Structure 1
Amino acid sequence: MTKQTQALALAKSSEHGQFRQFAVAIFLLISALLIVLPTIASAQNYSFSSVKVEGNQRVESSAIVNYAGIERGQSITAGQLNGAYQRVLASGLFETVEMVPSGGTLIIKVVEYPTINRINFEGNARLKDEALEAVIESQSRRVLNPTVAERDAARITQAYSEQGRLAARVEPRIIRRSDNRADLVFEIFEGGVTEIERLGFVGNQNFTDRRLRQVLETKQAGLLRALFRSDTFVADRIEFDKQVLRDFYLSRGYVDFRITGVNAELSRERDSYFLTFNVEEGQQFKFGDITAVSEIDGVDALPYLEVLRLKPGVVYSPSLIENSISRMEKRALREGHDFLRVDPRITRNDRDLTLNVEFALVKGPRIFVERIDVEGNTTTLDKVIRNQFRIVEGDPFNPREIRESAERIRALGFFGNVDVNAREGTSPDQVIVDVDVVEQPTGSLSFGGTYSTNDGFGLVVRFNERNFLGRGQQFGLSFSTSSDLVDYGLNFREPNFLGRNVSAGVNLSFVENDNSETRFTNTVGEFKPSVFFPVSEYARTQFRYTLQNTSMEINTGETQPGSIIDKEAARGDLWNSSVGYSYIYDTRRKGLDPNRGVLLEFAQDFGGIGGDYTFIKTTGKAIAETKIWYEEVTLRAVLEGGALVSPDNDSRIGDRFQLNSRVMRGFDPYGIGPREIGAGYDDGLGGNFYAVARFEAEFPLGIPEEIGISGGLFYDVGSLWGLDDGVSGTGSVLYEDFSLRHVVGFSIFWDTPIGPLRFNFTKALKKEDFDREQNFDFTVSATF
C-alpha cells in the first residue's frame, strides 16, 4: 500500500469516528429529552386528593378551602394554584398565605391578622373621637387589615382638610396584644387652620369686591378669625362659590359672564391662601320684545301672553323665564290642555343689548305618571312629601312640575338631601317618580339672652319642632323674661289643613308687662286660632279669631285716685272677643327685580263678638326698598298707621296704640302722644290713632365685611293722638291733638356670633315739652 493510499484510509477512518461521536451525542440528547419532558410536564399539573389547612385559629378550615376554590381530585395548573393563593390572600383575613403541595395533599399555611382590641385617637382636639369614629371603616372586634387602616388614615386627613387644616397628618399604629389581638391607634397631627388671607377678584367692573364677597360662602379672614369657620380654605367650597357667582351675575342680566380661573396661592408661611377669582362680566342684557306663538291647532297664544309679568326693559334673569313658563303651563292645565309645553326661544340683539323672547306653545309627549315612590323617610309620613306634589298617579307628566316639587320638598327643611328623578315605567308612555330623602333633625331647644334699654336683661328659652310626629306640623313652646316682662307662649300649626294649601294653627300666650315707664302692670292671656292661605303669587291672607283676657293692676304705692289710669284699672278683668283678617302683598324676595321690592299690609279686627269690649281696629303698612351703588347701599321707606274706634268709648291703655322703638325711634314707649299730668304723676295714655313715616339707609362703613359691622342713617316723623270722648281724670290731658315729632339718628349694626346687636343714636328735631326722649337704644339677642 502506498503512502497515498494509507493516508486516504486514515482520513476515512477519522471521518467515520467523528460521525460515530456525533451520532452518539444526538442519541444521548434525545434520550435525555425523553426522560426530562414528562418530568417537566408533570411539574405543571397537580391533582390533590386532600387539602389541609394549618395556622388558622378563628377562621374555619372549610371557609379557607372555599376561598381557594380547589376541588379534590381535580387536575389544576400552576397558574390555577397561584389564583387560589391570590383568592385566599384577597379575603383580607390573613397576614401571610403559603401553598405547599405535598404529594396528593395540598397544605395551606396561613397567619391570621389580629383582631382589633380597641381603636384610639391620639392628638385630636378639633375633631372629637365620636366624629372620627363615624369616618373610619375599621371597627373594634373586627379583623385588623392594614390596607383598611391606611384608607381610614386618609379619610381622617380628608375630614381635617374639610375643616381647613390642610397640614394635618395621620399615622396608623398597630400595637400587638396577647391572643392575637391588637390595638389600632391613629396618631394625629392636626396642624393649623389654613385660612384665606385675601379673597379678591380680577375683571369685575360692575360690582365691587366687597359686594361679590357677600355672595360667596367662602369668607376672608379678619380680626375675629377665631370665631369664623367659613374663612378656611376648602377646595369643594370653591366649586360651590363658582356656581353661586355665576347665578348672581346671570340673575342680573350678565348672560356672557364666565369665570376664567381661580388662583389659590399659598403664603410664604404656608398657613394661608390668597384666593383670586378671574372673571369676565360681559354686558348686561334686558328683555326686548316678549311674544307668544301657538303651534297647536285650536290653541290661541294671546291669552297665554296676558298671564306674563315680563315687560320690555326688565333686566334679564333665567328665573323670570322659568316663572313665566310655569304660569303659562298652569293656565294650560286650567283650560284642559294637559300636554301643552312652553318652549322659550331667545333671540339676541347685541346692538341694543336686549334679548327677545318668543314663548312657543308646543305639543309635548303623551306621558303619564304611573306612580310616585318615596324612600328614605323613617319618621316623616309619606303624605307630607306627597303634599308637595301638584300631580298624582295618573296625571300627565310635566318635568318642570317635578323640579318645582323637588324644590318644595327641600324647602321643608326636614331633609339633609333630596333626590327626585323620573324613570320609565311599565310602558314607554308611563314614568315612575322616585323620591329619595335623607332625614335630618328638625327639633331644637335653645337658650338665649336679651338686653335692651327699655326692658333690661332677659332670658329666653325656646323649644321648636318643625316636623311634629313626622306629620310636617309645627309645634313650639317659649318662655322669656326680663326685668319688666314675662312671656309664655305655645303655638301649633298644620301647614296643609284638610290636604290643601292652607295653613291652620292656634297660638296661646300669657304676657305680664310691668313697664318701668308706667304705674301699672298689664296682664294679657290670649287664645288665637287662625288660617293662612295664598291668594296670588305675592299675596296671602289670614283670618283669625281672638279671645283675650286683660287685667290692669296699679303698682304698690303708686295709686293716684281719680286719674285716668286708676279709673281704667278699677274696671278689673275684661274679655275681648274679636274676629279679624290680614292681607299681605310682598315682592321683596320673589319680585321681578332682586334689588327692589314692596310690602303692603292691611289688617282689621272687629271686637264685640261676645266679650266686654266693642271696637274696630285698623292698621296698615307700606314698605319700599331698593339697593343702589353696586347693591351695597339699601334705601328703605316705611309708612304705617292705625286707627282704633270704640263706639262705647271704653278703650283702655292696653287697647290703644303706643309707639315703641320698632315703630318710631327717639322716644320711650308711651313717650309721646296723649298724657295726663297731675300732682305727682305723669302718665302716658297711648292714642287711638297713629301715623309714622320712616326713611333709612343702610351702608358699609369700610370695615372688613367679615366682622359684620355696618351703619345706617334714619329720619322718623310721626304722631300719636286721640282719646275716646269723655275720657277725663283729676289731671290735665295734653297732646290729644295731632302733632308731628321729627327725629334723626345714626345706627350701628353688628352681626356677631352671639347674636345681632343694634345701636341707635337719636336726636329729636321737634318734640313737645313733656315728651320723653330716648337718645340711645341698644338691643342684643343671643342664642346658645
Structure 2
Amino acid sequence: MNLYRRLILSFGLMVVACGARAGEFVVQDIQVDGLQRISAGTVFNYLPVQVGSSVSEQEYPEIIRALFKTGFFSDVSLERKGSVLVVTVIERPAISEVRITGNEDISTDDLKKALAEVGLVEGRVFDRSLLDKVEQELLRQYYSRGRYAVRIDSQVRPLERNRVAITIEISEGAVASIGQINIVGNQAFSDKELLGLLQSSTTGWLSFFSKDDQYSKQKLAADIETLRSFYLDRGYLKFNVDSTQVSITPDKKDVYITINITEGEPYTIEDILLTGNFGDVPESDLRKLITIEAGETFSRAKMAETTKKLSERLGEDGYAFANINTVPQVNDETRKVTLNFMVDPGQRVYARRINFQGNIKTQDDVLRRELRQAEGAWVSTKDLDRSKTRLQRLEYLESVSAETPAVPGTNDQVDVNYTVVERPSGSLMFGIGYGQDSGLLLNASVTQNNFLGTGNQMSVVLNRADYGENYSIFYNNPYFTPDGVSRGFRLYYRNIDASQINTADYVLNNYGVQVSFGFPLNEFDTLVLLPGYDHVTIDTTTGTPVEIFDYIDQNGDTFNEFKLDATWARDTRDRVVFPTSGSLNQISTELAVPGSDAEYYKLNYRGVMYYPFARWLTWSLSTDIGYGDGYGNTDGLPFFENFYAGGLRSVRGYKANTLGPRYSDNEPSGGAFKTVASTQLILPVPFLEKSENVRTAVFFDVGNVFATPSDFDANELRYSVGIAGLWLSPLGPIAVSVAAPFNDKPDDETEVFQFSFGVPFN
C-alpha cells in the first residue's frame, strides 16, 4: 500500500513539473507591436526580460506591470510565437497643445508653470487622471482667493498621430465679498476695536482701492496672526484662537467669518535679566537699550524690539551674526514673567573685500565713495544698510542689492558684494509740453546725471513757453573734495511775460550766474552756499498797474543784485522720487547783499513727512512758509520777488498765482508772506499691480499769501479737497488734479481741473 501511494505522488509531481515546463521557454527574440512615437529601445530598457532569458506565463503579469509603471501605455499584452516574445502596446497620446482661457486673476504663465510641475505640459504623455488633479488644484487656488463661483471646464481634442490638444476654460466669477465678521469670546476688547485691526473687512468707501472686502484664505490667516500679536502685546500670554468658521451663501457671493477666541488673563513683567557674553561691547550700552521695566504689562512686540536693538548694537561693532535668545520664565500662579535676554555675540566678522558688479559705465570709485562700510574693518550692519541706501539714492542707479558671502577657509571674514543696475543717465531731448500755469512749452535739453561715469551732473536747457523764455547751463561735481563737498555753477537767462502767469502786466528780464558749494554736515544734513549775481530789468506795458509805475519811478527799472543764498536741509526720505517714509526739512535764505541796487532778504521753510500706514497706504503732511522784506536802502520786498499761491503746486483748485493781495487794477500782486500746507493719503493706483512711476492721492490743501505777516488772517485762508495723479511717463512728467474749493470768495479765480505735461513736478 505504501509503495502504491509513493508511485501516485511521484506521478503527480511529474505531471506538475511537465505543466510548468510547458509554459516556459527561452526568449530568442522580442517583438514590440503598436509603437508610434516611443522607440523600441525605450521599451527594451523597461522590460525585465532580455533575449536569452527563460520566461514562463506566470511571469507575464510582472512584465506587464513594469511597462504600465512607465506611464507611456494605456494597454499592454504579451503572447508567445514560438521562441519569440510578442509585446503589444497601446500608447497614451502625447500632449500637443495646452491652452488656457478666461483667467485674469492668475496669469497664464503662472498657471502653465504649475501645470508643468505636475507633468501636464506640451510634449509629455497625456494622463486623464492627471488632468482631473489639475482641475482640483485650480479650484483650490481660486477658492483661496475668494472666487467660489469659479468653474473649470477641460476639453481634450484628439489629433492625428496619437496626439491631443487640451483646452482649460476658466470662468473665474466674482470674488466673494465679506458679508460679516464675528469674533466670539472677547471680553477685554470690543468687537469694534478688534475688527479695526483686521485687513479683512466688510465693504467700505475705500474698499475699491484696498480690496479689504474680498475674502482670501491667506488674508484671513494674516488677520488671525494680527489678533494673536495684539493680545500678546498686551500681556495675554494664554490667548488662543480656538476655531475659525468660514461659510458662504448659496449664490457664492457673500462670505461670513466667525473667529472663536479665548483671551486668558494679562501677565506682567517681574524682572529683566541680561546674561551671556557681550564681546567688546560695554554691558552698559546694551542695558540702556532695554526699555522694558518691571511692573509693566508683558508685550511680545517690546520684547522683539529689544532683541532687535541688542542685535543691531552688537552688529555695529562687528558681531554681524550675534544671537540673542529671549527666554521668558512664566509663573502661571502669579501671572508674572521674568525676561532673560541671553547674548551670544559669536565671532567678530571683518570685510575682506568690497566688490561691485553691473556698473558698466559708472566708475568703481564713484560708487565706493558712497559707502560707509570700509574694507578690512569690522562688518557693521548699520554701515552696510546706510551704504546700500546711499547707493539707492543715486539717480543713475535703478536698483542695488547686497550680499555678504563668507570667505572660504575662514570663519571671521566675509566679502561684501554689491550688484547694481544702471539706468540711462543721459538724455538728448526735444519735446513739447503744456501746463495751465506755463502754457505751451517747447524744450530742448542735454542732460547727464553721470557725466562720463564720474557722477557729475551737467545740463543745457532751452525752454520757450507762452510766458517767455528760459535758458540755462548747469554743472555740479558732488565730490569736489574727497570729503563730499560739492561745487557747481549755473548760468541762466529768463524773459518772462508776467501777465501770462496770472500776475500783473509787465515783463521781467533777468540773467545771471550762481556758484554753489555743498557741505555735508552728517549723514542726513547738508548746508549749501550759493553766491551769485543777478541782473534784472523791468519792462512795462500800457496795462502795467500804477503801483509798479510808482515803484519804478522811485527805484528805477534796472537792478544789479549781488546775492548770497544758503540752504540747510535734513533729508531722511527712503527715495527722492515718490518716497513712502522719512521726511525732508529745508530752510533756505536768499540775500541781496549790501551794495545791491535792491537790498532785501527772503526766508523759506519747506517740510514734508511721510508715514506708511500700510503697504498700500501712505500719509504725507507738508508745509511751505515764506517771508521776505527789504532792508538798508530798500523799503519792503521788491514786487518782482513777491510770493504767490494757488495752482497745481500750491493750493489746488485755485488758478495759479491768483490768491492773495491785488493791485488797483485787480491783478494779483503776491505778497511778502506765504503760508501753504497740504495733507495727502497716497493710495494704490486702480487696475495697476506695479505703479512705481505712478502716484495717486486724496488731498486737502490750505493756504494764502498776505502783504505782510501782520496782515495774516486765518479767515482769509483758502481750502480745497480733491484727487491728484502724478505719472513719470516716457515722454515727460504728467500732473493732474481735480479739486473742489469750498470756501472761495466771489473775487477768487477757481479752477477745478488742473494739469501739466512736460513740466517738472518740483
SS of 1:184's partner is strand
By how many angstroms is 1:176 displaced?
1.4
Residues 673-688 of structure 1 correspond to what in structure 2 (within 5 A)?
675-677=662-664, 681-688=665-672
CA offsets per residue over residues 394-417 of structure 1, 9 Å max, x none? 7667899999999999999x9999
- In structure 1, C-alpha distance between the alignment counterparts of 2:261 and 2:486, rounded to whole Å: 45
Match of 2:743 in 1: 762
Give SS of 1:738's match: helix
1:584 aligns with 2:575: no
SS in 2 for 1:220: coil
Q: Which residue of 1 aligns with 2:522?
A: 535
The Cα shift of 1:762 comes to 2.9
**Counterpart of 2:253?**
271
Where 2:251 maps in the other structure, the secondary structure is coil
Output the amino acid matched with 1:676: Y
Tell me which residue corresponds to 1:166.
Answer: 148
Tell me, yes or no, if the aligned pair for 1:307 and 1:327 is still in contact at 8 Å: no
Q: Offset of 1:238 from its aligned partner?
A: 2.0
Match of 2:713 among 729, 741, 744: 741
TM-score by length of 2: 0.62
Shift of 1:175: 1.3
- The AA in structure 2 aligned to 1:317 is K
Contact kept in structure 1, 2:651 and 2:720, CA below 8 Å: no
Equivalents in 2 of 1:601, 1:410: separation in Å? 21
Kept in 1, the 8 Å contact 2:504–2:669? The answer is no
Cα distance, 1:120–1:111 mapped onto 2, change above 3 Å: same
Q: What is the Cα deviation at residue 28 of structure 1?
A: 2.5
Residue identity matched to 2:548: S
| 1:29 is the counterpart of 2:9 | yes
Select 2:162's aligned residue among 172, 177, 180: 180
Q: Give distance in 2, aligned partners of 1:30 and 1:399.
A: 89
| AA of the residue aligned to 1:264 | V
1:658 matched to 2:644: yes
Aligned residue in 1 for 2:760: none
**Is this contact kept in 1: 2:97–2:164, CA < 8 A?**
yes
Query: Kindly tell me: are residues 635 and 107 of structure 1, through their superposed partners in 2, closer, same or farther at Cα, counting changes over 3 Å?
Result: closer
Q: 1:210 to 1:605 in 2, by over 3 A?
A: farther
Q: Do the aligned residues in 2 keep the contact of 1:301 with 1:361 (CA within 8 Å)?
A: no
The residue number in structure 2 matching 1:324 is: 309
The question of whether the paired residues in 2 share the 8 Å contact of 1:711 and 1:748 is answered with yes
Q: Distance in 2 between matches of 1:516 and 1:550?
A: 23
- Computing the radius of gyration from Cα coordinates, the structure with the larger value is 1
Q: Does 1:53 align with 2:32?
A: yes
Alignment of 1:374-389 (within 5 A): none
Specify which of 82, 88, 91 is matched with residue 109 of structure 1. 88
Structure 1 contact 529–546 (Cα < 8 Å) conserved: yes
**CA deviation digits over 1:491-531, x for unaligned, max 9?**
99999999999999999999998444654688999999997
Paired residues in the alignment total 689
Where do 1:578-727 residues align within 5 Å?
580-584=566-570, 601-604=586-589, 617-620=602-605, 640-643=625-628, 655-660=641-646, 675-677=662-664, 681-690=665-674, 692=675, 720-722=706-708
Distance in structure 1 (CA, Å) of the matches to 2:62 and 2:491? 74
Does the residue aligned with 2:313 lie in a helix, a strand or coil?
helix
Q: 3-state SS of the aligned residue for 1:762? A: coil
Q: Which amino acid aligns with 1:685?
A: S
Distance 1:427 1:496, change over 3 A: farther
List per-residue Cα deviations over 1:682-710 (Å, max 9, x = no partner): 343333444x5979999xxxxxxxxx999
CA contact (8 A) 2:680 2:698 kept: no
Residue 146 of structure 1: aligned partner: 128
1:382 & 1:519 partners in 2: Cα distance?
A: 51
What are the equivalent positions in structure 2 for 1:50-449 lying under 5 Å apart?
50-68=29-47, 70-74=49-53, 85-86=64-65, 88-121=67-100, 132-133=111-112, 135-137=114-116, 138-140=120-122, 143-161=125-143, 163-202=145-184, 216-222=198-204, 229-244=211-226, 246=228, 256=237, 258=239, 260=241, 261-278=243-260, 300-302=282-284, 317-318=302-303, 320-322=305-307, 324-325=309-310, 328-329=313-314, 332=317, 363-365=345-347, 426=408, 429=411
Cα drift, residue 273 of structure 1: 0.6
Paired AA for residue 168 in structure 1: V
Residue identity opposite 2:742 in structure 1: F
Q: Could you say what secondary structure the match of 1:684 adopts?
A: coil
Partner-residue secondary structure (3-state), 1:238: helix
User: Post-superposition shift, 1:106?
Assistant: 3.3
Alpha-carbon distance in 2 for matches of 1:442, 1:255: 54
Q: What are the superposed Cα offsets for residues 101-130 of structure 1, whole Å, 9 maximum, x if unpaired?
A: 545433332333334444344565766766
Q: Residues 174 and 209 of structure 1: is their aligned pair in 2 closer, same or farther, counting only changes over 3 Å?
A: same
Q: What is the CA distance between 1:582 and its match in structure 2?
A: 2.8
Q: Please name the residue that 1:563 is paired with.
A: 548
Contact 2:146 2:217 in 1 (8 A): no
- Distance in 2 (alpha carbons) for counterparts of 1:575 and 1:100: 109
CA distance in 2, matches of 1:508, 1:70: 91
Name the SS for the 1:164 alignment partner: coil
Deviation at 1:645, TM superposition (A): 6.1
30-39 vs 567-576, which moves further: 567-576
CA contact (8 A) 1:658 1:720 kept: no
CA distance in 1, matches of 2:305, 2:331: 19
Call closer, same or farther: CA 1:604–1:239 in 2, change over 3 Å: farther
Contact in 1 for aligned 2:151/2:170 (Cα 8 Å): yes
Normalising by the residue count of structure 1, what TM-score does the alignment of the two structures yield?
Answer: 0.60
Q: Which amino acid aligns with 2:570?
A: I
How many Å apart are 1:235 and its aligned residue? Answer: 0.9
- 2:20 matches 1:40: yes
Please state how far the C-alpha of 1:613 moved relative to its aligned partner.
9.3
Q: CA deviation at 1:239?
A: 2.0
Q: What CA distance in whole angstroms lies between the structure 2 residues aligned with 1:753 and 1:162? A: 34
**Distance (whole Å) between structure 2 residues aligned to residue 284 and residue 524 of structure 1:** 71
Q: Unmatched 5+ residue regions in structure 1? A: 1-18, 444-450, 460-466, 590-595, 628-633, 699-707, 723-736, 765-770
Q: Percent identity?
A: 17
Q: Distance in 2 between matches of 1:668 and 1:777?
A: 5
Q: Distance in 1 between matches of 2:57 and 2:418?
A: 50
Q: Distance in 2 between matches of 1:311 and 1:219?
A: 36
- CA RMSD in angstroms comes to 7.3
* Partner AA of 1:31 in structure 2: F
Query: Residue by residue, what CA displacement relative to the aligned partner does 1:716-751 show, whole Å, maximum 9, x if unpaired?
Result: 7x87335xxxxxxxxxxxxxx722212378876779
Cα 1:139–1:605 shift into 2, 3 Å: farther
